[in-house]
Amino acid sequence: MVKNLKVISSISILLLSLAGCTVKYSLSGASIPAEVKTVSILYLQNNAQLVQPSLSQLLTEALKDRFLSETNLTLVDQNGDFNFEGAITNYVVTPVAIQGNETAALNRLTVTVKINFTNTVDEKQSYQTQFSRYEDYLSTEDLSAVENKLINSINDQLVVDIFNKAVINW
């Protein structure tokens, strides 16, 4: 009986100590302080020399979707506890895998975005950095025929990078 009381007492202490935790965890592995309730993601302007018209909207919405689906944060228009703003700074196609006849077997679409992340709860977690991702495609393919698929893949990778840097503390 005394042994059972010690076990129950130990479990109770453990549960009470966990109840006081100030970090929320999600299935995505995100560790978000309990004080953080909102996120604002401002429209990412396209400042690249070569502008793809839908890229800004697609990337901004993909980032919003990630936070809404992977966290319990509420999306607000501005001044969120977590705030993201930035711009697409580069959208470029370059040849790669040059063959013996000096033609490219592959082309590479690269997108670079500059992100300013502000964590109002813990300023040390804030960052300003550039993220860059690319996808290769056959040089025999017309960019306009594969561009949407490439953009979707690149956006997915960029969103994962931005999200992870902000809320995954490994």
Domains, the chain, in order of start with CATH, read 37-167 (3.30.160.150)
What confidence score (pLDDT) does residue 168 get? 86
pLDDT exceeds 60 at position 81: yes
Percent of the chain surpassing pLDDT 90: 69
Average pLDDT over residues 121-145: 94
What confidence score (pLDDT) does residue 15 get? 40
- Token look-up 């705030």 returns 83
Enclosing H/E stretch for 10: helix 2-19
Mean of pLDDT over the chain: 85
b (16+ CB within 10 A) / e for 83-103: bbbbbbbebeeeeeeeeeeee
Indicate the pLDDT class of residue 19, thresholds 50, 70 and 90: very low
53-67 pLDDT tens trace:
999 999 999 999 999
Closest Cα partner for 122 from 19, 14, 34?
34
